[in-house]
Structure 1
Amino acid sequence: MATIKHYPWVRQFLGSASEYVVHLSNGSVRHEGVGQAFWFRPDISVLSEVPATDQELPVLFHAITRDQQDVSVQTSVTYRFGDPVLASRRLDFGIFPVTQAGQEASGRQQVGAIVGQLAQSLTVDLIATLDLAEALESGIGRVRTALGALGDDPRLAATGIEVLGVRVLAVRPEGDVEKALRTPVRERLQSEADRATYERRAVAVERERKIAENELASQIELASRREQLVAQEGANQRREAEETAAAALVSAKSDAERHEIAATAEAAAVRQLGEAAAAKEAALMEVYANVGRDVLTALALRDAAPRLPNIGSLTVTPDLVSGLLGALTNRTGESTSDAAPAAGR
């Protein structure tokens, strides 16, 4: 904002980069522009400051649709002062002299009222031709198109105002109507949400069922394989038992045949030994039959001698010697008598 310095009989004005100053002296323009600095006499001078930047004007108003429904329209109009000198003459932007202490110029409020009333007039005329549903559905675009005519309004052109752009932010009905209109959509969305929830639950249940079926199938497969394993183990054990029994049978047959062969051989050996012993005894008997009693006695004594206890001393009595001599004499005489007849023959 500009600064005015006070000196005796004169004043100094120091402008800013965002304000267009218009200096009138005795009704004639002495200085104008942005960022001006000059001296002026307060008794013959009038200063006005017009904004040199683009201005944003939010406008909110109500309109009635064709079916008698109230809607609120929220817009924003961007404008600037194309002819600041003309605007300073048509509107109050004066900053010196000030009529009352501290009172500001009302040019901005005047511009807001003018632009706002023009925008509201165009919008109300358009909304009056639309039903509520049409206004809510396509009202933003139609209102934007209708407000484009602000740039051609002769009053704004006569005031030095140029409209740069118009934005329509919202076209909304009353609160109760808006709530009623939202209810079907909300219900539909809720229904879709519920359906999505049910479908998600159904999918979850289906997945759980598939998981349970897979687990059951796995258990059945494990049980079947366990049954096959048990059957195979039983068959293996049975086969092992059969093989063991067959091996034992073969071993038993082999042992029996071996024992039979050994018994046969032993029996043959015993039989041969018996026959040899019998032949020996027969031969001995035949020999013993042809020898005398004395020889037999001597042989018996010889065979019994190893079994008799040891004799430490032997006492020979006369009776024993006489008996032996008598026996010997008789033996000799018999032998001689036997020999004589043989010689005579």
Structure 2
Amino acid sequence: MATIKHYPARRRFLGTPTDYVVHLTKGHVRHEGVGQAFWFKPTTSVLSEVPATDQELPVLFHATTRDHQDVTVQTNVTFRFADPVIVAQRLDFGIFPPRPEGTGAAAGRQQVATIIGQLAQSRAVDHVATLPLTEALEVGVGQVRQVLTDALAADPRLTSTGIEVLGVHVLAVRPEADVEKALQTPVRERVQAEADRATYERRALAVERERTISENELASRIELARRREDLVAQEGTNARREAEEAAAAALIEARAAAERRDVEATARAQETRVVGEAEAAKDAAAMAVYADVDRGTLLALALRDAAGTLPKVDNLTITPDLLTGALAAFAQAAGGAR
């Protein structure tokens, strides 16, 4: 907002970089532009301040479709004042002289909003009236935007007023609340059906996975049992083989022991036989030698042999009878020798 300083018989205007000022004196332009600073006479000067920046105007209105359904169209129009001098002459943007108290500020912005809003609403209403509700909701945003852009850009009133439309944005085309809810119901049902189907598929997949896991566990248990059976059978085979091997070894050992005993018995028998035969031969030879020896000699030999086996004799008593018999035998032996 520009600043006007008061001095005696003079005023000092200080502009801003965002507002375009137009200074008229007796109907002629004395100063114009943004960021102006000048002196002027209050008695002969009129000042208007037009925005130099881009302006945004939201427009909201109702329209009726071809099938008699009410829709709400929400748009936003971007515009600028291309010729501020013409705008100052056609619209009320005056800032000096001051307005009387109670009359309010300049109505230029409201006038622009009314002009653009009415133009946009009339063109949009005409176009929406040619569309059924479903088509208006599906493609209405793009079509209304194109219609408003073309219409506002070529509108002679805006051009003659010095207003340039830079762009139109259609934010929404919405039906009444109950109609919108009714239209959303099939979509919601379809979405819910898709969600239910996804849930069922997820549950079915979970059941299938659980079944697969159970089958795998059962197969693992069966395989484990089969391997345990094979292990038991193998252990039994091994134990039986070990027993057979042990029995065979014991049999071989018993046979070896029996054969060893037979050999030892045979050897002992042979030794006994040889010894007996030798002793028999010895005895036979001795008997053959003793066959021609007389009785006394045999008795002497017997006494000699018996003497080696008799116990120790400390005292010997010889009786007359024994001595008589011995002497008689000795004399008889001596007589026989002669």
TM bracket (short chain): over 0.9
Aligned to 2:144: 143
Mapped to 2, the partners of 1:156 and 1:277 lie a distance apart of 167
Aligned to 2:13: 13
Could you list the per-position Cα deviations for residues 58-115 of structure 1 after superposition, in whole angstroms to 9, with x for gaps in the alignment?
1111111121211000101111111111111111101112213483211111101110
Aligned to 2:87: 87
Aligned to 2:236: 234
Secondary structure of 1:192's aligned partner: helix
Mapped to 1, the partners of 2:178 and 2:59 lie a distance apart of 23
Aligned positions of 1:19-30 closer than 5 A: 19-30=19-30
Mapped to 2, the partners of 1:310 and 1:265 lie a distance apart of 39
Mapped to 1, the partners of 2:67 and 2:319 lie a distance apart of 185
- Unmatched tracts of structure 1, length 5 or more: 337-345
Note the C-alpha offset of 1:142: 1.5
- Unmatched tracts of structure 2, length 5 or more: none
Note the C-alpha offset of 1:173: 0.4
Moved more, 194-203 or 281-290: 281-290
Letter in 2 for 1:174: E
Note the C-alpha offset of 1:321: 4.1
Aligned to 1:245: 247
What is the RMSD of the two structures over their aligned residues, measured on CA atoms?
Answer: 1.8
Aligned to 1:39: 39
Note the C-alpha offset of 1:335: 4.0
Give the alignment's TM-score, normalised by structure 1: 0.92
Mapped to 2, the partners of 1:327 and 1:129 lie a distance apart of 186
Are residues 101 and 294 of structure 1, via their aligned partners in 2, closer, same or farther at CA, if it must alter by over 3 Å?
farther
Aligned to 2:186: 184
Aligned to 2:283: 281
Residues 1:157 and 2:165 are matched in the alignment: no
In the alignment, is the contact (CA less than 8 A) between 2:99 and 2:105 conserved in 1? no
Mapped to 2, the partners of 1:53 and 1:331 lie a distance apart of 188
Secondary structure of 1:239's aligned partner: helix
Aligned to 1:98: 98
Note the C-alpha offset of 1:296: 2.1
Residues 1:292 and 2:298 are matched in the alignment: no
Aligned to 2:51: 51
Note the C-alpha offset of 1:147: 0.6
Mapped to 1, the partners of 2:166 and 2:325 lie a distance apart of 188
Letter in 2 for 1:112: A
Are residues 319 and 268 of structure 1, via their aligned partners in 2, closer, same or farther at CA, if it must alter by over 3 Å?
closer
Percent of residue pairs identical? 68
Mapped to 2, the partners of 1:290 and 1:183 lie a distance apart of 157
Could you list the per-position Cα deviations for residues 8-53 of structure 1 after superposition, in whole angstroms to 9, with x for gaps in the alignment?
1111001111100001112221111111100011111111100111
Letter in 2 for 1:22: V
Secondary structure of 2:291's aligned partner: helix
